[in-house]
Amino acid sequence: MRSDSAWVGVKAVADVRDAILAKARDREGRFRIHGEVLDYREVEDGWWATLLDKTRPETLDVFFRTSDRPLERGLLVAVEGKLKVNKRAGEATIGFQLLGDTCTVMHVARRHHARRSHIDQLCAALADKRKSFTTEPIERFWIICGPHSKASSDIKRRFFGHKSKARFVECSIKDAASIAQAIHETVAAAGPKDALLLTRGGGTAFELDTFNDHRVATALANATRRLPTMLAIGHANDELLIRSLVSEVCDTPAHAGRRMAQLCHTYTKPNYTAEPLSGELLRSVRRLVQRLGFQERRSSESARRISAAWAPLLFAVGALVGWLARTPLPAASANQLPTASVLSAPATSPHNQLAANARAPIERSGNDSSSNAAGAAIQPELGRRGGR
């Protein structure tokens, strides 16, 4: 076994970056890097671009202040500047960035030129054979996406009919051959009133560049001849060459979910975050809420004051009612009862005389003829009084 002194070039982990920079740095300490522009964005003091290597699938982020020509995706450029190590905390990989001053545009990259020419030929062949969406409802959507994709979750939240009118086909979304195979198998299994959706969430420019592969473009063109197709990849600012090969393009997977619900004639969930409230409207809503809260507090305070003012009186009334219920009434004596002469009406009234005769007890002495005669004498008089 070799000893530690026999090892050559033993350094600490932190010295690896310095060794890479020292090995690659020329005499002046600057680099000149060539690459194909995959993506670019303008910032306050310059430009950031993602360059792709011509021979290997590796990218590098570069910054430059000026460019001799307007930038476009697919251009082969050369940037000269200093290399910076980009090491983020908690990550095992080491990234590099090139900070330069100028960018020199040389020509269109061969790879990009070949892809664009191939897609232009496919678009020319699809001139009169392209299937498009009509007013007739779609019976089923075949959705091609990656496993556990965020795009599928966005579609399910906005497309209520995904359980009965959608079928998800998962494939390796980073492999062009897997995507092309999934498209061919879906077209073979789809019906005459079905549609196809190719979707993916956001990603880097290098990851989204997989969809521009000639195999994916050919499979998508063949699918558009058979059934309507839709594309929803990345964010709203992502541009792909295959956009011209589909029947309809959506900016995001969420937008595709709402559009699918319309094409299938199903209901969609409302977009609660469509537009935020303006400043004046928000202030009006806040004032209304504060006013309602003040009115509620004011009404509750008034109720408490009224109840406190009437509480003694209500208590006294309740006590009086309870005392009256418990106290027995005094018994009335015989001298205090009203006499029959007081209750009776004057004798001059024929009605009162007739009532008195009716209330008088009839002596049942066994003489039924006398009682029957008295009843017969009273009955006609009552009939005449009632008839009047």
* 141 domain residue, yes or no: yes
Ranking 181-190, 215-224, 241-250, 328-337 by mean pLDDT, the lowest is: 328-337
Task: Let me know whether 146 and 243 are in one domain.
Answer: yes
Q: Give the pLDDT confidence score for residue 341 in this predicted structure.
A: 46
For the whole model, what pTM was predicted?
A: 0.58
Task: Let me know whether 55 and 102 are in one domain.
Answer: yes
SS3 341: helix
Mean pLDDT of the chain: 75
Instruction: Report the number of secondary-structure helices (H) and strands (E) in the chain.
Output: 12, 11
Task: Let me know whether 141 and 172 are in one domain.
Answer: yes
Task: Let me know whether 146 and 254 are in one domain.
Answer: yes
* 54 domain residue, yes or no: yes
H/E stretch holding 100 reads strand 95-108
Confidence tier at 15 by pLDDT (50, 70, 90)? low
User: CA–CA separation, 345 vs 111, rounded Å?
Assistant: 130
Confidence tier at 152 by pLDDT (50, 70, 90)? confident
Task: Let me know whether 139 and 60 are in one domain.
Answer: no
Segment 272-300 shows an average pLDDT of 66
Confidence tier at 156 by pLDDT (50, 70, 90)? confident
**Contact between residue 50 and residue 204 where contact means Cβ atoms under 8 Å apart:** yes
Ranking 20-24, 68-72, 194-198 by mean pLDDT, the lowest is: 20-24
Task: Let me know whether 157 and 254 are in one domain.
Answer: yes
* 379 domain residue, yes or no: no
Task: Let me know whether 172 and 215 are in one domain.
Answer: yes
Q: What's the CATH number where 63 sits?
A: 2.40.50.140
Q: Give the pLDDT confidence score for residue 294 in this predicted structure.
A: 63
Task: Let me know whether 47 and 101 are in one domain.
Answer: yes
* 140 domain residue, yes or no: yes
Characterize the bridge pairing of strands 248-249 and 166-170.
unpaired
Task: Let me know whether 147 and 84 are in one domain.
Answer: no
* 221 domain residue, yes or no: yes
H/E stretch holding 207 reads helix 205-208
Q: What's the CATH number where 197 sits?
A: 3.40.50.2300
* 31 domain residue, yes or no: yes
Asked whether the predicted pLDDT for residue 85 surpasses 80, the reply is no
Q: Give the pLDDT confidence score for residue 344 in this predicted structure.
A: 45
Q: What are phi and psi of 3, to 5 degrees?
A: -80, 170
Residue at which a domain ends, from 77, 110, 143? 110
Instruction: Residue 201: give the domain boundaries.
Output: 130-263
Asked whether the predicted pLDDT for residue 314 surpasses 50, the reply is yes
Per the structure, the count of domains in the chain is: 2
Task: Let me know whether 162 and 258 are in one domain.
Answer: yes
Q: Give the pLDDT confidence score for residue 274 in this predicted structure.
A: 47
| Bridge partner residues of 99 (DSSP) | 63, 82
Segment 12-40 shows an average pLDDT of 69
Ranking 103-112, 127-136, 333-342 by mean pLDDT, the lowest is: 333-342
Task: Let me know whether 173 and 252 are in one domain.
Answer: yes
* 118 domain residue, yes or no: no
